[in-house]
Amino acid sequence: MSPSPESPADRSHNCADADVLIVGAGPAGLALAAALHDAGLAVQVFEQQPLDALTEPAEDGREIALTHRAREVMRRLGLWQHLPADAVAPLRQARVTDGSGSQALRFGEGAAGPLGWLVANHRIRQAALQAVRDRPGVQLHTGARVSGLDLPAGQPGALASLTLADGRRLQAPLVVAADSRLSATRRLAGIGAAMRDFGRSVVVGRVAHAADHQGIAWECFRYGNTLALLPMNGGLSSAVVTVPGDRAAEWLALSDAAFAERVGVQSGDRLGALRSVGPRHHYPLVGVYAQRFVAPRFALIGDAAVGMHPVTAHGYNFGLYGVEVLARVLQAARRSHRDIGAVDVLQDYARAHRRITLPVYLGTNAIVTLFTDEHRPAKLARRAVLALAERAPGLSGLIKSAITRQLMGAAAQASKA
């Protein structure tokens, strides 16, 4: 059999260091490296943190709710198999209450299986690293901060190049930025982002409790602050308190006993006596949506593309959906000898990712606005929304099935590129 003819793009890429250079070895960058390797592409990943920070990532208080589709992507990439069984907590039901907590919207009641699963972020990071290490072809450079990016403009065949802080320079047909919601590489590419600073912060801490949480997550939109209780294994829940930014320090400074007591009171003591376990962590809440996901020889993935408010638990799920689509698009381009960095190739990913993420990003921001506004009209409106949703079976069913489909990843699946 004669070898397939080399395209002009193939020829110009012979001097490249890899097919794809990825900036950032967070959970999105590592998952993408594994997916692109499996798609037959040569990948190098650059991470500013030292190797120790990746092999033994510190517990950071984030319990990541994963959808069915996200679990499927993790399974295919071999990440899921690296999670110890006791690190995965099933999310069986979710309930949303407002103000006094007298009304609750319920999700997942009567469902055959869990709505999703909760896994600590540091465990996901560890599993993603192991999945990359299972693929010796992927080159991971740690302690390697990317400080420069050069995207060729209007020069057909010219490669993109990255510069590292130590002066090294690398070239490839495609650079992907996975360097967090405040992505410096996105800025170097000249891509702006819509940012929404909610003026609020999340304080997270684990609590041990006497009563069984039964796998139920609670989201209590209280007046003054929001409290979520996320079910974990071992008689624990993660308490996620959202407060105005100027009150975060007060919540962080509480003694363990005072924190447990406040969480207990605010949750209506539904989990019995509480005990605070381990450190508390703090995250300012900023939503970010990139103005474009791609440019010639460049793409954004993970939080660098879409940084979600955590209330609807979609950030990493979206990262994984993006990984799946981008890998599929690049594999198809490579098989048909198209240039993997060409913007018309990358647009297929951009369009699909925007279709999945934009409605949820905007919807999440609208929910946050309605449920954290302390003015009387907003309080009345949200009480009405919950009451209507619970009492009007048709509307309730629509809302619930839309949210449940999001959790199961069904809506996202349906609109695959």
Ligand X SMILES: Cc1cc2nc3c(=O)[nH]c(=O)nc-3n(C[C@H](O)[C@H](O)[C@H](O)COP(=O)(O)OP(=O)(O)OC[C@H]3O[C@@H](n4cnc5c(N)ncnc54)[C@H](O)[C@@H]3O)c2cc1C
Binding residues vs ligand X (CB under 6 A): 23-29, 46-49, 62, 64-65, 121, 145-146, 178-180, 184, 202, 204, 283, 302-303, 310, 313-317, 319
Residue 199 dihedral angles phi and psi, to the nearest 5°? 70, 15
Residue number with CB closer to ligand X (201 or 276): 201
Q: To the nearest whole angstrom, how small is the minimum distance from the Cβ of residue 416 to ligand X?
A: 19
Q: To the nearest whole angstrom, how small is the minimum distance from the Cβ of residue 110 to ligand X?
A: 23
Check if the beta carbon of residue 23 is closer than 8 Å to that of residue 178.
yes
Radius of gyration of the chain measured on its C-alpha atoms: 22
Residue number with CB closer to ligand X (121 or 266): 121
Q: To the nearest whole angstrom, how small is the minimum distance from the Cβ of residue 328 to ligand X?
A: 19
Check if the beta carbon of residue 359 is closer than 8 Å to that of residue 108.
no
Q: To the nearest whole angstrom, how small is the minimum distance from the Cβ of residue 51 to ligand X?
A: 12
Kindly give, in sequence order, each residue whose CB lies less than 8 Å from that of residue 309, ignoring residues fewer than 6 positions away.
Answer: 196, 198, 285, 287, 364, 365, 368
Q: Tell me, what DSSP letter sits at residue 143?
A: S
Residue number with CB closer to ligand X (316 or 371): 316
Check if the beta carbon of residue 382 is closer than 8 Å to that of residue 221.
yes
Q: To the nearest whole angstrom, how small is the minimum distance from the Cβ of residue 155 to ligand X?
A: 25
Kindly give, in sequence order, each residue whose CB lies less than 8 Å from that of residue 164, ignoring residues fewer than 6 positions away.
Answer: 46, 141, 144, 145, 146, 147, 170
- Give the sheet arrangement for strand 160-164, strand by strand: 146-150, 160-164, 169-172
For residue 136, how far is the Cα from the chain centroid?
A: 26
The CA distance from 299 to 176, in Å, is 5
Residue number with CB closer to ligand X (175 or 204): 204
Residue number with CB closer to ligand X (23 or 174): 23
Residue burial 266-295, b: 16+ Cβ < 10 Å; e: rest:
bbeeebeebbbbeebbbbebebbbbebbbb
Residue burial 83-99, b: 16+ Cβ < 10 Å; e: rest:
beeebbbebbbbbbbbb
Residue number with CB closer to ligand X (123 or 222): 123
Q: To the nearest whole angstrom, how small is the minimum distance from the Cβ of residue 306 to ligand X?
A: 8
Q: To the nearest whole angstrom, how small is the minimum distance from the Cβ of residue 361 to ligand X?
A: 12
Q: Residue 277: enclosing H or E segment and its boundaries?
A: strand 274-290
Q: To the nearest whole angstrom, how small is the minimum distance from the Cβ of residue 311 to ligand X?
A: 9
Q: Is 38 exposed, middle or buried (CB count within 10 Å of its CB: 0-12, 13-18, 19+)?
A: middle
Q: To the nearest whole angstrom, how small is the minimum distance from the Cβ of residue 315 to ligand X?
A: 3
Residue number with CB closer to ligand X (317 or 364): 317
Q: Which residue is nearest to ligand X (CB)?
A: 26
Residue number with CB closer to ligand X (9 or 301): 301
The CA distance from 69 to 258, in Å, is 39
Residue number with CB closer to ligand X (145 or 379): 145
